[in-house]
Amino acid sequence: MSFFKGFAVTGKLPFKPRVTVQYPEEKKPKAERFHGRHVLNRYEDGMEKCIGCELCAGVCPARCIYVRGADNPPHDPVSPGERYGFVYEINFLRCIHCDMCVEACPTEAITESKLFEFSFVNREDAIYTKAELLVDDEGNPRQLPWEDWKPGDERNTSAWVRATSPSGAASLEGRPLWSAELGFGVRAPERGQSDPSSADYPAENDLSLREMVPGQLRAVHVSDRRPERGRSGPAEGDG
């Protein structure tokens, strides 16, 4: 009897939905907060977000980031700050994709894409330099010959940074607290953090900074959330 029961189980399987896909030609959607290959982001005007502060390198438990900052050229600044990331390298033979660098970064310069399909045949290729990490003039990651990007992958480079409701504060749920990105504007909150059906926070449609600022950012007052520390305004003689 158990013999026929076993056949019955097998016989039902062809009529059930398949859970496998034809990988790598076909890929399943990756998790919203999946940690993949890094990118260095730029502001909407094309300036680099990295200010060369080296916090990411300092916090990295695998010691795989090498950053050197330099003063911005006064007449041709690379970033809006005083300094910019002159050298930026990540050794992907060491990286454990913990995203501590992403958390430490004060300017949202370094984030992770969803790409994990990349491999190397020599150590040199495993060390990504700024030329490879910095997004292109459209704001998309540069796609290297040994990486397997699929259409749509290039859009998902900062989702988990766009988690809202920091510290569990429900009043901040769905309010963007991040800056605009080249080619994308102010990205919508990641799915699941706010109602994806809400017209104010469409999960699929990112808004430009111009569209987002009047509706959302003016309602957020940093001083309401964080006590002032140190100097709170321009010192005498400043600009």
One of 99, 125, 136, 195 touching ligand SF4 (CB under 6 A): 99
Q: Does residue 207 bind ligand SF4 (CB under 6 A)? A: no
Q: Does residue 67 bind ligand SF4 (CB under 6 A)? A: yes
Q: Which of 178, 186, 153, 125 is nearest to 36 (CA)?
A: 153
Q: Does residue 78 bind ligand SF4 (CB under 6 A)? A: no
Please tell me what DSSP assigns to residue 90.
E
Q: Does residue 90 bind ligand SF4 (CB under 6 A)? A: yes
51 vs 161, beta carbon nearer ligand SF4: 51
| Total of residues contacting ligand SF4 (CB under 6 A) | 27
One of 27, 30, 97, 191 touching ligand SF4 (CB under 6 A): 97
95 vs 159, beta carbon nearer ligand SF4: 95
Residue 168 beta carbon to ligand SF4: minimum distance, rounded to whole angstroms:
24
Between the alpha carbon of residue 177 and those of residues 67, 114, 166, 185, the distances in Å are 26, 22, 9, 13
Give the x/- contact pattern for ligand SF4 in 35-54, rule: CB under 6 A.
Answer: ---------------xxxxx
Handedness of CA 24, 114, 210, 193 (dihedral sign): positive
Residue 222 backbone class (left: φ over 0; alpha: ψ -120 to 50; beta: rest): alpha
Cα–Cα distance for residue pair 76/59, rounded to 1 Å: 30
Q: Does residue 64 bind ligand SF4 (CB under 6 A)? A: yes
Token digits of residue 4: 């026929």
Element (H, E) at 214: helix 209-215
Token digits of residue 163: 């988690």
What are the residues binding ligand SF4 (CB under 6 A)? 50-56, 60-62, 64-65, 67, 85, 90, 95-101, 104-105, 107, 109-110
